[in-house]
Structure 1
């Protein structure tokens, strides 16, 4: 109500419209997991380009498929990714000491041997100093600089408060001198690994038990992946272990994400179907398998061709298709060409493709004119014999998109009075969101009634539900299914064409 009505006049009061716009979430944020020689092991970093990966994880490394998969993702249209580094316990973090300052590298690995730390005191105030991270091999180029630092813990420019959490090269820096007036260190330039030499440790990958244990732990409740706000696609390049994939399928489904699975590097047409054992359980709808591996040039081997897991390429195609056509378009067909591919490890015939497609193995093919393309769009629940409603990748991913968008867009409903005014607002807001998707061509049907429905009223929410504090919202949609088989019926005309 407005202020008390005391004197005659006109009073204006603004009333809420009840419109709370629901915004669709991103659909192709990809989480990559693998071994790398550099980068944090206690959190996933968000990247927007392969240059970001090079800076944070030391670029390509022939010992791991991770860097290559991230590069293939961006080459094929990807734009937004997280990277989670898994390292062995034998990896060692480099460190150096300058006076009473202990300076560890930001992450384990031998990468720190390429960098040095320089401390320079101010000429007008020797109690203040600058710490620079430099690269001796590049003429002592300054990569980071932190100026006007102090050794006094109560100073706003206390060295640990300024550097820790802000440096890409230094982390957990500590001051060992006793307070309150620690001595100022002398000017010095030391290698970042001068006190403790960084070690990469054992290189581990998807074939190693240590890696698989760390991978499943990262996806546990409260694990590293659980702390990421939103990701839609998960890639573990080269992962083929059935039990681990089954566990990962469940964790990914809990996050309303989608897992891209690689077929084994040594699989052939006659064995790949048998390799699906253990990967087609109840959580299979949130995953898809692609076969065979992709032949592409390796920049670390002067462009020589070598096979790579298809997951990185396909994650990029998913992202590109989402951006240009929408998540409801299958990431397959002549538009789904694989950028950077020079061929495939196995070239299949139409007959061989026909053997694998009904079993939910998505084949990559090399076609005349179009080059190397994705030629399948089925989930691992898409075997013809199963008759699953989640047979196709775009249908499942559209449902996941709707679930996540509506989950985030209806948080305001919690604790609102559970009666018709609330139900009307819910119908209004969710209906407007679904209508927007319908106009973009996301659903079947020529009218909204044929394409979707939103129901929230006395029929969905009974008095018993109200007493329990529950509001039930029913949302249905008619998904677009890909034209997987196009049948052309041609008839020879016998005689005159009727007018």
Structure 2
């Protein structure tokens, strides 16, 4: 029977059956730190702030204003002006540490982040509490079910090592006290395999002490944990979200620089030689010799250069292994792994034959070809930049009988030009013209 359509040409779209791979998220950090519900909240506000229970689980924040409302920052600012005891002031100041990190992230180009709160700023946080649990979604355990997270930072880490000080000028922290907390963060990142930890050294350290801290309190450079560690120094002075100048850990601003570099250039570009926004100054001005020693142990420095201002002047992980030495390489591999894994789940339970292998080869090769064209992979030709093997050679009958399909992928990631050398020679005896 003729369909009841008017005469003319009719076009019907049909799926082509071609599988594609979509790039995974690379620019979403998770911040863990002290927060609390302010008693000044307006119960009739259009957008309610989070409760204590909600703040203890990961919450996606899509902008600074949303953070201010959801985490009662306006009420907290007013409350701080009204407290009278040093203990109460110090407790509220701990909440501002987390807020400054979140602000620094958005000020430097970040678009969204997760926040996991610890709602009693008067108490220390144990390694077990920081690790949390996947069931109740607290602490780092709550981030296990958030695949979009690509960075983890704990701005309050050094304050978490002890109860809130009762004196106006608290004594300096002990670098050894933070080791178990840092180890909990690195364990989470290493096990997840798709996110890096942005670690801050204790406040007030001189360059030599930072080198000692890196070598003594962080994972050894040859371990897997070191490959997922980014250490930045020194802390930075900021104008303060409420107009009160303070010195804060650099992790929030650095997470924003990472996100900005990803958006402007790509994850394969080292997040360095960039100016961190919202920073007034740094308390330690490093010499070339001091940075050379720190760079050798994987400490990324912030430097002030005459005529150029403040710049991020380092792009290393803590690892000394060739494949994981640079942040851009480690993050690119995480990006490629996540993208391929997340976009290949359609293959589960498909018939394990040449058609499936061909579809996987095509999808992965097309994705890597795009990365090569963008400059993420090095090589004069695609064959030099990557290879994809998914055929009978790596899927013999015994593997197929076990329900397995294997796709072996090799890539040649581009590495940053960390040291640029120029050879200059004077040529004498040239005839004048």
TM-score tier, shorter chain, comes to 0.7 to 0.9
Among candidates 299, 307, 321, match of residue 247 of structure 2: 307
Structure having the higher Rg: 1
2:143 matches 1:225: yes
Match of 1:291 in 2: 233
In 1: Cα distance, 2:373 partner to 2:272 partner: 23
Match of 1:253 in 2: 190
Match of 2:334 in 1: 400
User: Is the Cα–Cα contact under 8 Å of residues 86 and 214 in structure 1 kept in the other structure?
Assistant: no
User: Is the Cα–Cα contact under 8 Å of residues 100 and 241 in structure 2 kept in the other structure?
Assistant: no
In 2: Cα distance, 1:478 partner to 1:26 partner: 21
User: Is the Cα–Cα contact under 8 Å of residues 258 and 287 in structure 1 kept in the other structure?
Assistant: yes
CA deviation profile, 1:318-347 (whole Å, cap 9, x unmatched): 0000000100000001xx101111111211
Counting only pairs closer than 5 Å after superposition, residues 4-43 of structure 1 correspond to structure 2 as: 17-38=16-37, 39=50, 40-43=54-57
Among candidates 377, 381, 392, match of residue 443 of structure 1: 377
Q: Quote how far apart the aligned CAs of 1:447 are.
A: 1.2
CA deviation profile, 1:117-170 (whole Å, cap 9, x unmatched): xxxxxxxxxxxxxxxxxxxxxxxxxxxxxxxxxxxxxxxxxxxxxxxxxxxxxx
Counting only pairs closer than 5 Å after superposition, residues 63-78 of structure 1 correspond to structure 2 as: 63-64=94-95, 65-78=97-110
Q: Quote how far apart the aligned CAs of 1:212 are.
A: 3.7
**Greater displacement, 211-220 / 264-273:** 211-220
Among candidates 329, 332, 336, match of residue 272 of structure 2: 332
Q: Quote how far apart the aligned CAs of 1:211 are.
A: 4.9
**Corresponding residue SS for 2:180:** helix
In 2: Cα distance, 1:395 partner to 1:220 partner: 33
User: Is the Cα–Cα contact under 8 Å of residues 87 and 203 in structure 1 kept in the other structure?
Assistant: no
Match of 2:114 in 1: 82
Match of 1:45 in 2: 59
**Corresponding residue SS for 2:111:** coil
User: Is the Cα–Cα contact under 8 Å of residues 259 and 288 in structure 1 kept in the other structure?
Assistant: yes
CA deviation profile, 1:421-480 (whole Å, cap 9, x unmatched): 111111011111111111111111121111111111111112111111111111111111
- Tell me how many residue pairs correspond in the alignment: 361
Match of 2:170 in 1: none
In 2: Cα distance, 1:427 partner to 1:76 partner: 38
Match of 1:361 in 2: 299
In 2: Cα distance, 1:398 partner to 1:472 partner: 22
**Corresponding residue SS for 2:93:** coil
- Higher RCO by CA contacts (8 Å cutoff, separation 6 or greater): 2
CA deviation profile, 1:165-210 (whole Å, cap 9, x unmatched): xxxxxxxxxxxxxxxxxxxxxxxxxxxxxxxxxxxxx534xxx2x3
User: Is the Cα–Cα contact under 8 Å of residues 246 and 278 in structure 1 kept in the other structure?
Assistant: no
Give the TM-score of the pair, scaled to structure 2. Answer: 0.79
Q: Quote how far apart the aligned CAs of 1:250 are.
A: 1.9
2:356 matches 1:419: no
CA deviation profile, 1:14-41 (whole Å, cap 9, x unmatched): 9864411110011111111111123323
Unaligned runs of 5+ in 1: 1-12, 89-201
Runs of at least 4 residues off by over 3 Å: 13-18, 218-223
**Corresponding residue SS for 1:362:** strand
2:318 matches 1:376: no
Among candidates 286, 293, 305, match of residue 348 of structure 1: 286
Counting only pairs closer than 5 Å after superposition, residues 88-127 of structure 1 correspond to structure 2 as: 88=120
**Corresponding residue SS for 1:275:** helix
User: Is the Cα–Cα contact under 8 Å of residues 94 and 156 in structure 2 kept in the other structure?
Assistant: no
In 1: Cα distance, 2:25 partner to 2:376 partner: 15
Larger strand proportion of the pair = 1
Match of 1:213 in 2: 128
Q: Quote how far apart the aligned CAs of 1:44 are.
A: 1.5
Give the TM-score of the pair, scaled to structure 1. Answer: 0.69
Match of 2:152 in 1: 234
Counting only pairs closer than 5 Å after superposition, residues 168-207 of structure 1 correspond to structure 2 as: 202-204=121-123
Unaligned runs of 5+ in 2: 1-11, 38-49, 78-91, 159-177
User: Is the Cα–Cα contact under 8 Å of residues 234 and 260 in structure 1 kept in the other structure?
Assistant: yes
**Greater displacement, 404-413 / 216-225:** 216-225
Match of 2:203 in 1: 265
In 2: Cα distance, 1:282 partner to 1:72 partner: 29
User: Is the Cα–Cα contact under 8 Å of residues 98 and 155 in structure 2 kept in the other structure?
Assistant: yes
User: Is the Cα–Cα contact under 8 Å of residues 32 and 81 in structure 1 kept in the other structure?
Assistant: yes
In 2: Cα distance, 1:419 partner to 1:243 partner: 48
Q: Quote how far apart the aligned CAs of 1:286 are.
A: 1.1
**Greater displacement, 369-378 / 14-23:** 14-23
In 1: Cα distance, 2:147 partner to 2:335 partner: 15
In 2: Cα distance, 1:82 partner to 1:318 partner: 16
Q: Quote how far apart the aligned CAs of 1:287 are.
A: 1.6
In 2: Cα distance, 1:471 partner to 1:249 partner: 31
In 2: Cα distance, 1:496 partner to 1:221 partner: 78
Match of 2:212 in 1: 274
**Corresponding residue SS for 2:360:** helix
